[in-house]
């Protein structure tokens, strides 16, 4: 008796269980990232695909979204970004596995896309060379290869073999990732910073006089401890630059190009200046303002040694991670401005997260045009020739610090009667002459000012107000030494800093 082949049942292609397929995608992603990370430890840490894509995301994020991230998450904005990226990548890796339950090619293409994105991100990094492309390339190769191998093993249906392959992949990725991190941290700048030793200025700043703050009434201390100093920058990973690897090149529209080593700067007569720094992203009443004793050398002196040519308009500074800022040359060279190349902060070498080995500090300008950290390159040029990082994103060319004030009074219940409020005011390189406060819409009352230290640092104030039982508002405004009283007109931080009066609500019960 013969059998009709047309009646034979069609054998269905084997199909992976969904959990197994998803796990294959995730393990392939982890292996790919680990491989890229370990290669990046040798060719440039920012070449790690995960970090490169994160940096690209920061660079491509619209200004309005960046401002939202800073206002919503503060200094945790980069952690939020990396966490969000991790979630998205894991979800896509699971999708890669689920679309490949029968054959590996669809998932391989999706996993490979991660590598392509990493290659593009590394290619456009200004701080990385061509060798850095090996990191995302290795990531791509590892990802698609591991995906195919795990898929093939799992499709055989041998549970013990699949489990063993999965465990080996996970353990191997973990080991490779740890090796990459260990190699990368061997280039950590911490030991180099510790070896700098004490920084003793030839021209120390005057002692801070008694009465320079009203900390007992709720203001900050006049000098901000390094651990509390605000930090806002574009660096996804804090650059690790050792003094022995650092140099500062001054070139462009100069009579002669000069390159300084760290020892060249360290061995010059150092000057110490008390300066307040404020971020342009600081909203009205915001916390992104701090004061420190900066130690370094006159920036104007370094530029004059190179010889600034007529027509130079912009000091285009670049950090070790590729960030750039443009500072008006006229401001830097202004007599009495006090612009610095700083290497110390509050009696010790610059903290790594605040720019070690060196950064720029220019009193009177917001940081986005003046305070480049981890600075390695200064080019004298024109405004038309080059556009710095934030100018390319719609911010103003000039960034003078605006006259502002803040209330440091915690919301909550206070007793009716005499209520004390306190805060800060600042008009950098101009100085504060008056601070006024009012309750509800009542008359303005003069606040008591702290002892002035200099015109480049903040000034504290306090006042005693009458408050009856119930809910009230208190508003503050400052007047600087030019006679200008800060405006009540509300303006966003973009393009050159926020304006408006701060008003807070409190209850007297």
Report if residue 8 sits inside a domain.
no
C-alpha 359/C-alpha 336 separation (Å) is 19
C-alpha 29/C-alpha 85 separation (Å) is 13
- Do 238 and 357 have their domain in common? yes
For 110-158, what is each residue's pLDDT tens digit?
Answer: 999 988 999 998 888 887 888 889 999 999 999 999 999 999 999 888 7
Return the minimum-mean-pLDDT range out of 69-73, 106-110, 295-299.
Answer: 69-73
- Do 345 and 379 have their domain in common? yes
C-alpha 272/C-alpha 58 separation (Å) is 34
**What does the pLDDT average to over 76-102?**
88
Report if residue 139 sits inside a domain.
yes
- Do 68 and 180 have their domain in common? yes
C-alpha 502/C-alpha 282 separation (Å) is 12
* Phi, psi for 139 (deg, rounded to 5): -60, -45
* Phi, psi for 494 (deg, rounded to 5): -85, 135
295 vs 74, residue with greater confidence: 295
Is-contact 100 108, C-beta < 8 A? yes
pLDDT value for 12: 57
Report if residue 269 sits inside a domain.
yes
- Do 233 and 328 have their domain in common? yes
Q: Is the pLDDT of residue 83 over 90?
A: no
Element holding 371 (H helix, E strand): none
The residue segments making up the domain with residue 440 are 404-508
* Phi, psi for 168 (deg, rounded to 5): -65, -40
Is-contact 407 423, C-beta < 8 A? yes
At residue 11 the predicted structure's pLDDT band, cuts being 50, 70 and 90, is: low
Q: Is the pLDDT of residue 78 over 80?
A: no
pLDDT value for 1: 45
- Do 248 and 347 have their domain in common? yes
pLDDT value for 497: 94
- Do 443 and 387 have their domain in common? no
> How many domains are there within the chain?
3
Quote the tokens at residue 356: 């070690």
Q: Is the pLDDT of residue 4 over 70?
A: no
pLDDT value for 186: 62
Do the bridges between strand 247-252 and strand 258-261 make them parallel or antiparallel, or are there none, so unpaired? Answer: antiparallel
For 397-450, what is each residue's pLDDT tens digit?
Answer: 999 999 999 999 754 556 677 888 999 999 999 999 999 999 998 999 999 999
Q: Give the global pTM.
A: 0.84
Peptide bond into 506 cis (omega under 30): no
- Do 228 and 367 have their domain in common? yes
pLDDT value for 13: 64
Do the bridges between strand 459-467 and strand 448-449 make them parallel or antiparallel, or are there none, so unpaired? Answer: antiparallel
| CATH code of the domain containing 224 | 3.90.420.10
For 324-350, what is each residue's pLDDT tens digit?
Answer: 999 999 999 999 999 999 999 999 999
The single residue listed with the structure tokens 């950090």 is 319
pLDDT value for 167: 83
Domain's final residue, options 393, 413, 439: 393
**What does the pLDDT average to over 58-80?**
75
Distances (CA, A) of 264 to 83, 175, 268: 41, 41, 7
350 vs 182, residue with greater confidence: 350
Return the minimum-mean-pLDDT range out of 155-164, 359-368, 406-415.
Answer: 406-415
Return the minimum-mean-pLDDT range out of 80-89, 298-307, 351-360, 499-508.
Answer: 80-89
**What does the pLDDT average to over 222-228?**
97
Report if residue 261 sits inside a domain.
yes
**What does the pLDDT average to over 358-363?**
98
pLDDT value for 168: 85
C-alpha 285/C-alpha 410 separation (Å) is 12
C-alpha 58/C-alpha 80 separation (Å) is 12
Is-contact 211 451, C-beta < 8 A? yes
Q: Is the pLDDT of residue 75 over 80?
A: no
Angle at 62 between CA 61 and CA 68, to 5 degrees: 90
- Do 273 and 388 have their domain in common? yes
308 vs 62, residue with greater confidence: 308
Q: What share of the chain is helix, strand, coil (3-state, %, to 5)?
A: 40, 25, 40
Report if residue 203 sits inside a domain.
no
């Amino acid at each position: 008796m013969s059998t009709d082949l047309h009646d034979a049942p069609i054998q269905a292609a084997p199909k992976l269980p969904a959990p197994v397929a998803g796990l294959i995608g995730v393990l392939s992603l982890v292996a790919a990232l680990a491989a890229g990370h370990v290669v990046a430890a040798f060719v440039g840490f920012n070449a790690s695909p995960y970090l490169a894509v994160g940096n690209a995301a920061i660079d491509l994020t619209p200004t309005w979204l960046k401002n939202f991230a800073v206002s919503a998450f503060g200094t945790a904005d980069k952690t939020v970004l990396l966490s969000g990226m991790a979630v998205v990548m894991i979800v896509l890796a699971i999708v890669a596995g689920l679309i490949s339950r029968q054959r590996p090619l669809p998932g391989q293409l999706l996993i490979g896309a991660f590598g392509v994105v990493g290659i593009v991100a590394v290619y456009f990094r200004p701080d990385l060379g061509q060798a850095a492309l090996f990191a995302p390339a290795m990531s791509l190769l590892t990802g698609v290869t591991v995906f195919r191998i795990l898929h093939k093993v799992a499709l055989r249906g041998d549970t013990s073999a699949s489990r063993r392959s999965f465990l080996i992949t996970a353990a191997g990725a973990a080991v490779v990732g740890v090796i990459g991190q260990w190699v990368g941290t061997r280039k950590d700048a911490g030991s180099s910073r510790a070896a700098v030793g004490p920084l003793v200025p030839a021209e120390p700043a005057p002692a801070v006089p008694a009465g320079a703050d009203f900390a007992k009434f709720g203001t900050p201390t006049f000098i901000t401890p390094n651990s509390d100093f605000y930090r806002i920058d574009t660096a996804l990973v804090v650059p690790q630059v050792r003094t022995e690897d650092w140099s500062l090149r001054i070139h462009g529209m100069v009579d002669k190009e000069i390159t300084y080593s760290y020892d060249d700067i360290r061995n010059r007569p150092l000057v110490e200046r008390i300066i307040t720094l404020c971020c342009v992203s600081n909203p009205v009443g915001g916390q992104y303002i701090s004061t420190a004793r900066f130690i370094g050398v006159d920036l104007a002196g370094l530029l004059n040694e190179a010889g600034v040519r007529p027509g130079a308009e912009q000091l285009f500074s670049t950090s070790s991670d590729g960030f750039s800022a443009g500072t008006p040359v006229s401001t830097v060279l202004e007599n009495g401005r006090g612009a610095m190349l700083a290497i110390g902060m509050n009696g010790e070498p610059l903290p790594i997260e605040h720019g070690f080995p060196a950064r720029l500090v220019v009193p009177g300008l917001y940081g986005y045009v003046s305070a480049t950290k981890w600075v390695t390159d200064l080019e004298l040029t024109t405004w038309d020739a080059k556009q710095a990082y934030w100018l390319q994103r719609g911010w103003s060319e000039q960034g003078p610090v605006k006259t502002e004030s803040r209330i440091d009074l915690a919301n909550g219940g206070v007793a009716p009667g005499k209520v004390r409020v306190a805060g800060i005011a600042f008009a950098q390189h101009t100085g504060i002459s008056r601070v006024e406060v009012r309750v509800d819409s009542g008359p303005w009352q003069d606040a008591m000012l702290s002892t002035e230290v200099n015109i480049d640092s903040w000034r504290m104030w306090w006042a005693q107000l009458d408050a009856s039982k119930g809910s009230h508002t208190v508003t503050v405004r400052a007047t600087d030494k030019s006679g200008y009283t800060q405006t009540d007109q509300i303006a966003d931080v973009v393009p050159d800093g926020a304006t408006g009066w701060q008003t807070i609500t409190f209850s007297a019960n």
